[in-house]
Amino acid sequence: MPRILVIEDEPDIQTLLRFNLEREGHAVVVASSGEDGLHELRRQPFDLVLLDLMLPDRDGLEICKVMRAKETLATIPIIMVTAKGDESDVVIGLSLGADDYVTKPFRVKELMARIKARLQRTRDGAADAERKRIQVRGLVIDPVRHRVAVDEVAVPVTLTEFRLLHFLASHAGVAYGRYDLLDNVGGDGDAVTDRTVDVHIRNLRGKIKPYDDLIETVRGIGYRFSETASS
């Protein structure tokens, strides 16, 4: 039974989310503040977090940063649920490590579909035949442990970042457009804007330094991973 943490301070939305998530067969824990949410994350494992941006103490962006900075929490998928819908807010959320973004008022069926798709991709990832250990220079991408290491030091990456890096590295030398990448590592249910892939690539390059040059920009097309990669 997938375990989902809902960090949301509005009682009506808490009730709505709990009811629908439990009806879908999920185990649900609700936290009414950012601090309570972090306490639950330290106390027990979760398969996904629904995170409101506007919280009474520590806002959702700060919670996202804390999760992505801690290795034990860094790979938990985060779907932000918020009233802020401007593209700039989407970009900020993605740049801090959110995997998806839903604006209020949301349609329950759409949100449930996004959650189902995100959890399914997590399950499928473990069994994907392509997901094999890749090493190039001091960069190691280990799909079994879902771990990225730079010079033997683990680097916290989000699920979407990991999938993007592993996909590019698995097809070294092949240039992919932004929407081709979204189709392969995201799909229906992801928050998609023209800048989504650029944000994830920028995040990845910052995290895998000094090997950030392995992710090459192909002018007029998109991105590719250096052909020097070997498994």
Please determine whether the domains at 3-126 and 128-225 fall in the same fold group of CATH: no
Task: Classify domain 3-126 by CATH architecture.
Answer: 3-Layer(aba) Sandwich (3.40)
Domain boundaries of the chain, sorted by first residue: 3-126, 128-225
Looking at residues 112-136, what average pLDDT do you find?
75
Under 8 Å between Cβ of 112 and 20: yes
Is the confidence at residue 190, as pLDDT, over 90?
no
pLDDT tens column, 60-103: 889 998 998 887 788 899 998 877 666 677 778 788 888 888 88
In sequence order, what are the residues at sequence separation of 6 or more whose Cβ sits closer than 8 angstroms to the Cβ of residue 79? 48, 49, 50, 51, 98, 99, 100, 101, 102, 111, 114, 115, 118
Average pLDDT of 28-53?
A: 93
Lowest mean pLDDT among 76-80, 131-135, 188-192, 194-198: 188-192
Q: Exposed/middle/buried for 212, CB within 10 Å: 0-12, 13-18, 19+?
A: middle
Class of domain 128-225: mainly alpha
* pTM above threshold 0.85: no
Which residues, in sequence order, are CB contacts of 175 under 8 Å at separation 6+? 218, 221, 222, 223, 224
